DNA sequence: TGAATATATGAAAATACTTTCAGAAATTAA
DNA sequence: TTAATTTCTGAAAGTATTTTCATATATTCA
């Protein structure tokens, strides 16, 4: 069982806007007051890695998969049945979760059982759940 | 200044797989042992709201915008210059951040200054930063 | 071994997201 | 008022992601 992922957007791309005239009616900005700022902000590579991680949680099917696995390890077909997804779609999603090490798996007979890799992710999404209740 | 957003994927869609034969070589699954599970998992609407939130953080430009605003409120054109994005792209991104109430803004003269709405988001992404350092 | 079951995979189709482009709207200054 | 500046907007273009479909691989059982 190999491994590969999607979520490429945040991995590689960069280097747009090579010429520094980013503003469309270009205006003479004195960037002096911005330089200090530029050194402190999230670097592009870090932002990309972080965004890749958040993107992983930015899909309701993946979140539901994680919420099921939080309670019980489960094989692919039961996951698919529980969440009303095709087994193929489930398999693709599990692959991306695997690639980011959010789940681990164990083969038993012809079934493959998936489980959460750790509880860090759960903590994270509980934190978001709270935030969402706050802003309502 | 109106408001509208993207990130539609997690908002509305559902109801795929209307027929219950989700498994491709359909197999007679006894769903009895899954019913308890289905009641406890994240509901689709909740998962969608949560995914929508994570998606918002799932873009490196948006994360960098937030990281800049964490230090200092800034107008659109300075944000654009700092992060090397076009002002139009910046404006579009700020709109989605506004729509999800992660940033607020204040108009002064012809400039519009954006700032973080609260520090909840920062806390969240610090938590992810830690996770990312762990798994390296 | 052959048939059935469970999962995985690549490619194409279906969707979704982000940026650019062209131009509108609002504000300021001359 | 006219010109310049700043931001916003809708639509199209460019890119990315997710699902489906067809098929491959692996395991079990008869």
- Mean pLDDT score, B71-75: 94
Asked if A88 is an interface residue toward chain B (Cβ–Cβ < 8 A), one would say yes
Phi, psi of A30 (to 5 degrees): -90, 110
Fold of A54-135: Arc Repressor Mutant, subunit A (1.10.10)
- CA–CA dist B97, A87 (Å, integer): 35
Q: What local confidence, expressed as pLDDT, does residue A22 receive? A: 35
Using one digit for the tens of pLDDT, what is the confidence trace for B6-56? 677 776 433 333 333 333 334 444 455 666 666 567 888 889 989 998 999
- pLDDT above 70 (res A53): yes
Asked if A122 is an interface residue toward chain B (Cβ–Cβ < 8 A), one would say no
Using one digit for the tens of pLDDT, what is the confidence trace for B106-131? 999 999 999 999 877 777 767 777 76
Q: What local confidence, expressed as pLDDT, does residue A127 receive? A: 75
Distance measured from the CA of protein residue A30 to the C1' of nucleotide C8, in angstroms: 55
pLDDT band at B65 (very low <50, low <70, confident <90, very high): very high
Protein-proximal nucleotides of chain D (any atom < 7 Å from a CB) = 5-11, 15-23, 26-28
- CA–CA dist A55, B60 (Å, integer): 10
Nearest to A82 by CA among A96, A92, A67: A67
- Residue B8: DSSP 8-state: G
- CA–CA dist A101, B19 (Å, integer): 33
- Mean pLDDT score, A36-65: 87
Q: What is the average pLDDT value for chain A, to the nearest integer?
A: 78
pLDDT band at A19 (very low <50, low <70, confident <90, very high): very low
Q: What local confidence, expressed as pLDDT, does residue A122 receive? A: 76
- pLDDT above 70 (res B101): yes
What's the length of chain A?
A: 136
Kind and range of the H or E run holding A74: strand A74-75
CB neighbour list of residue B63: distance below 8 Å, 6 or more residues apart: A42, A47, A50, A51, A54, B57, B125
Pairwise CB contact (< 8 Å): B51 & A44: no
CB neighbour list of residue B10: distance below 8 Å, 6 or more residues apart: A58, A59, A60, B47, B48, B49, B51, B52, B55
pLDDT band at A6 (very low <50, low <70, confident <90, very high): low
- Mean pLDDT score, B67-93: 96
pLDDT band at A114 (very low <50, low <70, confident <90, very high): very high
Q: What DSSP string runs through B22-64? A: -SSS-----THHHHHHHHHSPPHHHHHHHHHHHHHTS-HHHHH
pLDDT band at A11 (very low <50, low <70, confident <90, very high): low
Q: What local confidence, expressed as pLDDT, does residue B34 receive? A: 61
Which residue in B27, B68, B77 is closest to A37 by CB distance? B68
Fold of B69-135: Arc Repressor Mutant, subunit A (1.10.10)
- pLDDT above 80 (res A10): no
Asked if A108 is an interface residue toward chain B (Cβ–Cβ < 8 A), one would say no
């Amino acid at each position: 069982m190999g491994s590969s992922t999607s979520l490429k957007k945040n991995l590689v791309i960069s280097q747009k806007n090579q010429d520094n005239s980013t503003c469309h009616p270009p205006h003479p900005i004195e960037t002096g007051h911005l330089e200090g700022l530029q050194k402190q902000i999230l670097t592009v590579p870090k932002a990309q890695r972080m965004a890749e991680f958040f993107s992983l949680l930015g899909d309701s099917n993946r979140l539901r998969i994680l919420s099921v696995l939080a309670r019980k390890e489960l094989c692919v077909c039961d996951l698919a049945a529980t969440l009303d997804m095709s087994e193929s779609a489930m398999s693709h999603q599990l692959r991306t979760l695997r690639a980011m090490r959010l789940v681990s798996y164990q083969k038993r007979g012809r079934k493959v059982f998936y489980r959460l890799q750790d509880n860090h992710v759960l903590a994270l999404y509980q934190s978001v759940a709270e935030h969402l209740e706050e802003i309502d």
